[in-house]
């Protein structure tokens, strides 16, 4: 099923008529994206609402099929999904009850509410919620990492990401449909699936980082005052409107590109990428790093409220390496020596 939603298969899953082979496909689709499971949970909450007994003259089966056809048509119109020919449902007329009754009226209202609620969910998850001015507002899925936590995820296009501790990423609902633009606050490692049609772009600290086919580490915490891009494979471009740049800064493998906002400067320098990317496997490595920078890393990885040190060593540059699995006391003692 990949990321394409088979509405008929969803229906059969909800009513229990799904086969074993179809259930396998459906389960794979659920595991592709946490939002898929969230969407199905919302569908269940609607589908299994308590229902009163219907009137004898109300054709529940036809109303059932017609309602799902409306849902399917609305989903296709509003999210530009291509209907699956194998799951096409022919529209069936709704049989009008000979006499109105409370049961029949309830079923009518329930059918209308079901269409409205499910349509609203479809619009929400396809990023087409209308604004007052007639335009459409994107919804975002926010992924965060806590202290000492690394979060691994794979996007719809196959791009793999590792989120560093105390970082946040926002993925728009139209990702890999109209374009591939995400937002980052903190640090993350990217292994990007390249596309000439839809370039991969990251918005971070008023800076646009654009993939040119690569694997790289990107970092800019609120306290950094700069953006760093370390490239291990391929190349990226960096453009910061707040820094005077006649053209985007291009960074190739084995180099680090840095935007310094306080100095209004941008530059590229050769680096040992292993020192900057060891954190992906849990190894914290520093080369000529200032002590305050190391102190901030300890707070993010170990949850320390503060790291006390003599200001006389604030400008001291340190080269060291240790595992985040080591007890924090051992790490602090090593740094003290």
Tens digit of each residue's pLDDT (9 = 90 or more) over 61-94: 555 566 566 656 655 555 444 444 333 333 334 3
Quick one: how far is CA 189 from the chain centroid?
14
Most confident of 25-34, 182-191, 203-212, 323-332: 182-191
Question: Is 252 a residue whose pLDDT tops 90?
Answer: yes
Give residue 201's pLDDT band: very low, low, confident or very high (50, 70, 90).
Answer: very high
Do residues 180 and 162 lie in contact, with contact meaning Cβ atoms separated by under 8 Å? no
Question: Is 253 a residue whose pLDDT tops 90?
Answer: yes
3-state secondary structure of 88: coil
For 144-175, write each residue's pLDDT tens digit: 999 889 999 999 889 999 999 999 999 998 88
* Tokens of residue 88, six digits: 């096409």
3-state secondary structure of 160: strand
* In the block, residue with structure tokens 């680096």: 271
Do residues 287 and 272 lie in contact, with contact meaning Cβ atoms separated by under 8 Å? yes
Work out whether the CA dihedral 108, 112, 117, 118 comes out positive or negative. Answer: positive
Do residues 103 and 54 lie in contact, with contact meaning Cβ atoms separated by under 8 Å? yes
Classify domain 138-276 by CATH architecture: Sandwich (2.60)
Instruction: Quickly list DSSP for 240-295.
Output: -TTS--SSPEEEETTEEEEEETTTTEEEEEE--HHHHHGGGGTEEEEEEEEHHHHH
Q: Nearest CA to 111 among 157, 162, 68?
A: 68
The domain locations on the chain are 7-130, 138-276, 282-336
Residue 130 buriedness (CB in 10 A; 0-12 / 13-18 / 19+)? exposed
Residue 136 — left, alpha, or beta (φ > 0 → left; ψ -120 to 50 → alpha)? beta
Do residues 156 and 175 lie in contact, with contact meaning Cβ atoms separated by under 8 Å? yes
For residue 9, which phi and psi values (nearest 5 degrees)? -70, -35
Question: Is 188 a residue whose pLDDT tops 90?
Answer: yes
* In the block, residue with structure tokens 């374009």: 179
Please tell me the distance from the alpha carbon of residue 72 to that of residue 81, in angstroms, as a whole number. Answer: 10
Give residue 38's pLDDT band: very low, low, confident or very high (50, 70, 90).
Answer: confident
Residue ranges of alpha helices (H) inside the chain are 7-15, 20-32, 34-47, 60-79, 102-125, 273-277, 291-302, 328-336
Give residue 95's pLDDT band: very low, low, confident or very high (50, 70, 90).
Answer: very low
CA angle (321 as vertex; 238, 251 as ends), nearest 5: 15
For 301-315, write each residue's pLDDT tens digit: 888 777 777 777 778
Question: Is 255 a residue whose pLDDT tops 70?
Answer: yes
- pLDDT for residue 288: 82
Q: What is the pTM of this model?
A: 0.58
Question: Is 331 a residue whose pLDDT tops 90?
Answer: no
- pLDDT for residue 76: 55
């Amino acid at each position: 099923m990949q990321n394409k939603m088979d509405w008929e298969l969803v229906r059969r899953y909800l009513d229990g008529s799904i086969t074993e082979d179809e259930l396998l496909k459906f389960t794979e689709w659920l595991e592709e994206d946490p939002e898929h499971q969230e969407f199905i949970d919302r569908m269940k909450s609607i589908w299994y609402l308590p229902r009163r007994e219907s009137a004898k003259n109300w054709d529940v089966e036809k109303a059932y099929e017609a309602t799902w056809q409306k849902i399917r048509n609305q989903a296709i119109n509003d999210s530009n999904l291509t209907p699956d020919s194998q799951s096409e449902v022919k529209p069936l007329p709704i049989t009008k009850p000979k006499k109105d009754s409370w049961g029949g009226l309830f079923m009518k209202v329930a059918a209308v509410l079901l269409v409205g609620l499910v349509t609203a969910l479809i619009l929400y998850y396809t990023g087409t919620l209308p604004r007052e001015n007639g335009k459409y507002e994107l919804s975002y899925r926010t992924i965060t990492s806590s202290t000492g936590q690394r979060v691994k995820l794979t996007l719809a296009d196959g791009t793999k990401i590792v989120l560093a501790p105390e970082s946040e990423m926002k993925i728009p609902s139209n990702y890999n449909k109209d374009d591939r633009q995400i937002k980052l606050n903190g640090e993350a490692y990217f292994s990007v699936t390249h596309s000439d049609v839809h370039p991969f772009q990251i918005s971070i600290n008023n800076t646009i980082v654009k993939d040119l086919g690569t694997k790289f580490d990107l970092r800019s915490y609120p306290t950094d005052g700069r953006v760093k891009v370390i490239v291990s494979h391929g190349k990226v471009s960096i453009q910061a409107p707040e820094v005077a740049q006649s053209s985007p800064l291009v960074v190739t493998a084995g180099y680090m590109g840095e935007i310094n906002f306080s100095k209004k400067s941008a530059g590229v320098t050769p680096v040992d990428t292993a020192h900057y990317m060891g954190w992906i496997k849990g190894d914290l490595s520093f080369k000529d790093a200032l002590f305050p920078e190391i102190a901030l890393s300890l707070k993010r990885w170990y949850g320390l409220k503060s790291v006390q040190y003599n200001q006389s060593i604030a400008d001291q540059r340190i080269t060291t390496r240790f595992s985040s699995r080591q007890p924090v006391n051992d790490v602090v003692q090593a740094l003290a020596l």
